[in-house]
Amino acid sequence: MERKFKARCIDLETAGVNIIVLNKRDAEDMDLNAMDRVGVSVNDNEVMCVVDLTDTFVPPGTVGFFEEAYTQVNACDDDIVSLRPKDKPQSIQFIKQKLNGATHTDAEIHEIIDDLMKEELTDVELTAWISSIYIRGLSKEETVSLTKSIVDSGDTLNLHANAVFDKHCIGGVAGNRTTMLVVPIIAAAGLTIPKTSSRAITSPAGTADSMEVLAPVSLGKDDIESIVNRVKACIVWGGAVNLAAADDKLIRIRHPLSLDPRGMLLASILAKKKAVGANHVIIDIPVGEGAKIKTRKEAEELARHFNDLGDSLGMNIHSLLTNGDHPIGAAVGPAIEAREVMRILKGEKVSPELREKSLQLAGILLELGGVVGEGKGRDAAMSLVDSGKVLEKMKQIIGAQGGDPELRIEDIIIGPHSETVKSEVSGRIEHIDNQGISSVVRNAGAPVDKAAGMYLHVEEGDKVDVGDPLFTVYARSERKVDQAVEVYNERKPVRMSRIILEALH
Amino acid sequence: MERKFKARCIDLETAGVNIIVLNKRDAEDMDLNAMDRVGVSVNDNEVMCVVDLTDTFVPPGTVGFFEEAYTQVNACDDDIVSLRPKDKPQSIQFIKQKLNGATHTDAEIHEIIDDLMKEELTDVELTAWISSIYIRGLSKEETVSLTKSIVDSGDTLNLHANAVFDKHCIGGVAGNRTTMLVVPIIAAAGLTIPKTSSRAITSPAGTADSMEVLAPVSLGKDDIESIVNRVKACIVWGGAVNLAAADDKLIRIRHPLSLDPRGMLLASILAKKKAVGANHVIIDIPVGEGAKIKTRKEAEELARHFNDLGDSLGMNIHSLLTNGDHPIGAAVGPAIEAREVMRILKGEKVSPELREKSLQLAGILLELGGVVGEGKGRDAAMSLVDSGKVLEKMKQIIGAQGGDPELRIEDIIIGPHSETVKSEVSGRIEHIDNQGISSVVRNAGAPVDKAAGMYLHVEEGDKVDVGDPLFTVYARSERKVDQAVEVYNERKPVRMSRIILEALH
């Protein structure tokens, strides 16, 4: 039973669900309840919406649209729209089957992802699906299908190059800003590397947050294609471009409970790489107490899955287990990390571990790309950096994305308030904890405040005397600085080795 | 960081979530995103709400409340309310642990149900919990804890009687209106039976829908207590009273995917019985192809779980496996079933199987209540019906609930349009399928249209000739009658035994 309504747009935004508002008299007439699905169309394009009810907010004969809904339906005030009650999509049966332990066919997974993209599945249905995948797992074939259907759900880049390179880091390590070094090295060697990155969710800075200090990162598909075809590389925010579109919708459900079923995590990462056309990819898997992957065994298993899945997808994947025990760079926070990267590119001897890791990762990509022979990649990468060509390439990328290529390091705003915390004892730095450092920097205001951050003056193994500076924390206000130092004192992420472990009275 | 806002109430109703609307400038200032949780309070009573965002719908400094939210917060236009960002409740950790296969402690289950009642858990979190219970299961101890915490989440009845009787049917059998016969029999024998029933969700009629034809069923706790203390019984809608309140919130999540984890199903049913104070309960478990429970084995297992759980809860539970292969009564639909019940109470010889089943169920309760000795219950129940005392008791119940005790059977409105479908062949009725019958009656308009229904003129095993009436369908319009007959012709729920099974050419 289809009925016509007059549209009214309401400036209300809820996260990711198309909400429409119906007068209760109309709803009763159409046998609709709150939360029921209806198909809404202006012309032929039908969009699934979810019903809210009202006595007076809209009169009978009018349908109110929340922002997501009127954008998708493309309806304006006083347009005539058609509503019809919608049956549940068939993919709900597939979800029920996964709850009961079945294995999905390729067609089933594509249908679920299609329905997800058409907003035909509610949060309850999606959560049940992801929860059952979390418990029941996905086979390799299911994971391949999921990857392909996520790629199909969005745009893909059309680049001139045949060989396209990419890198991904599983995350969890503070100051690990390798992407902003690896990308210009690879492009300086003449290879193509269209890098999309994420913003911080639980960390103090994502690559996109940090790069945004130097240049705009919210670029569309056309801009990205033209930039990469011109300068061989970009470093942009993946959220502004419609690649692997289904992934964002899945993450919205996975995020609140950190529900990261392995098959879905693999599919999510590789779909983003496949959507940019990458065929040579290195995956950086930091392993350690404070990283996302805690044990060597877990990391090896994950690496094997990445490599296997790459084979099935026709991608050449190199997974690398890296030391994820402690922060890699001295700088932690969006702006201060961008500054550290520019310092390294200019040849300053800062954050040696970050520099060395980046050279090694870039070296492997150079070898995969046939630029140099096996075992010669790391030194080739260093020569490129030392020659100034990488700095030049980074300036090209910054300029191509709309930033100022001549921005001076001194003009990157950090702080302006700061406090340097000094050692109260003599001894050796035994351990610096990633999660503790992240928590201090988030309390200083990062990632929302890009100028908030921390600079570590010590590394693990360093000897310190009483009064030696351990780190400096930067924030927008004294209050934020104090708050960050308070969190430091609670968590003590910089740990000294002690001789007397405990004094008993 | 707490901030004060001016309240504005918005006449918008969404199902079961407290939504507030904030101007984006305020949200940014408080570091809140769409879908974040905030604690909202007028005085001391803080309520968890979920944030929607707007540019213009409310100005900075004002917070808009959807209907659920302003009802719970108890805020009116221009009241000053406090908002503060809320951390996620600890019960989310327990949910994650269940996803990972852990067993809940009693305290954990109580905390999850408490947070559910305080609206502190989102649909995503609740669905993840229920999905993991569906897959991982609940131990007996967990099921006991869940039952008790559901009881604690709502009101409980205070009745004068010490021994309180109850019955429950797992459902799935058309025309199975035993409750409206068992309850007045038990009360006529002087026992107390406060019956709360459900409305139809997927069936053509629930007991509450059918009883509502004779008397109001949406009664509150105080009314129910006073009625039961006066006439020993009631037959009311459970949805109007706040017993086992958490159950409704769980069902909202379970319904879309028919997610009925066994432990949760058991807890849900027994919590409602415990909340009315019942200590002697019979559970009717219909078994058969068209019923909810398909096999004897499944039914026996369920019965054992009910009885075990009853022991742990201090309730005397008798589970009965009954024949659920085919419709029990001849009448299917809210009004026509109410009429059938009244006819049986008046001594008419209709629906013999429904009458006999009700006498047997009532008989067991009479024996449990010590009214008669073992094996004498069924006949005692029959004597009570034959004496007219049960009809008298039913009239008392109808009157006590606010209905007309002298309503004449002829005044119960059925139809008014109808069509009688006749047999096109001679033979014997081999099978009558519950689900097919339900579908026909729903297509006639039940349960929304109480006057829609079906009367079966035949039972399984009956011999019929060409032209003998099989059933009559009733509906509000000719169109609805046609639609129901069309569904009958598609599904053919009344099946004849055939001699030639197939003709091959």
Mutant choice from B31, B63, B135, B199 vs A, greatest count of A C-beta within 10 A: B135
In the 3-class helix/strand/coil scheme, how is B54-108 assigned residue by residue? Answer: ECCCCCCCEEEECHHHHHHHCCCCCCEEEEEECCCCCHHHHHHHHHCCCCCCHHH
Amino acid (1-letter code) at residue A40: V
CA distance linking residue A396 with residue A391, whole number of Å: 9
Chain B's closest residue to A250, CA to CA, is B124
Residues 6+ apart with CB under 8 A from A43: none
User: Helices (DSSP H) in B369-471: which residue ranges?
Assistant: 377-386, 389-400, 434-444
What tokens were used for B66?
């959807």
The answer to whether domain A91-137 has CATH 3.40.50.410 is: no
The class (CATH top level) of A165-240+270-400 is alpha beta
Place of tokens 């404070």: A290
Going by the DSSP 8-state scheme, the letter that residue A89 receives in this structure is P
Give me the DSSP letters along B454-467: EEE---TT-EE-TT
Q: Which of 3.10.20.30, 3.90.1170.30, 3.30.1490.100, 1.10.287.180 is the CATH number of B414-496? A: 3.90.1170.30
What tokens were used for A376?
């010669």
Distance between the two ends of chain B, CA-based, in angstroms? 82
Residue spans of the domains in chain B: they are 3-85, 91-137, 165-400, 414-496
Chain A's closest residue to B98, CA to CA, is A135
pLDDT in tens, B186-245: 999 999 999 999 888 778 899 999 999 999 999 999 999 999 999 999 999 998 899 999
Whether residue B122 and residue A258 make contact (CB cut-off 8 A), yes or no, is no
Whether residue A12 and residue B131 make contact (CB cut-off 8 A), yes or no, is no
Cβ pair B366, B372 in contact under 8 A: yes
Using a 10 angstrom Cβ sphere, with 0-12 exposed, 13-18 middle and 19 or more buried, the burial of residue B432 is: buried
What tokens were used for A487?
């969190």
Residues 6+ apart with CB under 8 A from B223: none
Rg of chain B in Å (alpha carbons): 26
Q: Which of A57, A259, A448 sits opposite B11 (nearest CB)?
A: A57
Per-residue pLDDT tens, chain B, 505 aa: give them. 688 999 998 888 776 678 899 998 888 777 777 778 888 988 777 888 888 888 888 899 999 998 888 888 888 888 899 998 887 788 999 999 999 999 999 999 999 999 999 888 888 999 999 999 999 999 999 999 999 999 999 999 999 999 999 999 987 787 789 999 999 999 999 999 999 998 887 788 999 999 999 999 999 999 999 999 999 999 999 988 999 999 988 988 887 788 889 999 999 999 999 999 999 999 999 998 878 888 999 999 999 999 999 999 999 999 999 988 888 999 999 999 999 999 999 999 999 999 999 999 999 999 999 999 999 999 999 999 999 999 999 999 999 999 999 999 999 999 999 999 999 888 899 899 888 999 899 889 898 899 999 999 999 889 999 999 999 999 999 989 998 999 999 889 998 886 665 666 6
Chain B's closest residue to A14, CA to CA, is B52
User: Helices (DSSP H) in B292-333: which residue ranges?
Assistant: 296-313
Chain A's closest residue to B129, CA to CA, is A131
Cβ pair A298, A286 in contact under 8 A: no
Residues of A annotated as part of the active site: 260
Distance of CA A463 to the CA centre of its chain: 36
Supply the pLDDT for residue A15.
62
Q: Which of B12, B96, B123 sits opposite A52 (nearest CB)?
A: B12
Whether residue B256 and residue A56 make contact (CB cut-off 8 A), yes or no, is no
Cβ pair A455, A350 in contact under 8 A: no
Whether residue A256 and residue B136 make contact (CB cut-off 8 A), yes or no, is no
Mutant choice from B1, B95, B131, B260 vs A, greatest count of A C-beta within 10 A: B131
What tokens were used for B131?
């999905």
Whether residue A14 and residue B35 make contact (CB cut-off 8 A), yes or no, is yes
pTM: 0.83
Tell me the CB-side half-sphere exposure of residue A340, using CA atoms within 13 A: 29
Pairing between strand B331-332 and B453-456? antiparallel
Could you say which residues from 109 to 168 on chain B have a Cβ atom under 8 Å away from some Cβ of chain A? 122-125, 127-128, 130-132, 134-136
Q: Is the ipTM of this complex over 0.85?
A: no
CA distance linking residue A465 with residue A467, whole number of Å: 6
The class (CATH top level) of B3-85 is mainly beta
pLDDT in tens, A319-360: 999 988 888 999 999 999 999 999 999 999 999 999 999 999
CATH topology of domain B165-400: Pyrimidine Nucleoside Phosphorylase; Chain A, domain 2 (3.40.1030)
Would an 8 Å CB–CB cutoff place A93 in contact with chain B? no
Residues in chain B with CB shorter than 8 Å from the CB of A23 are none
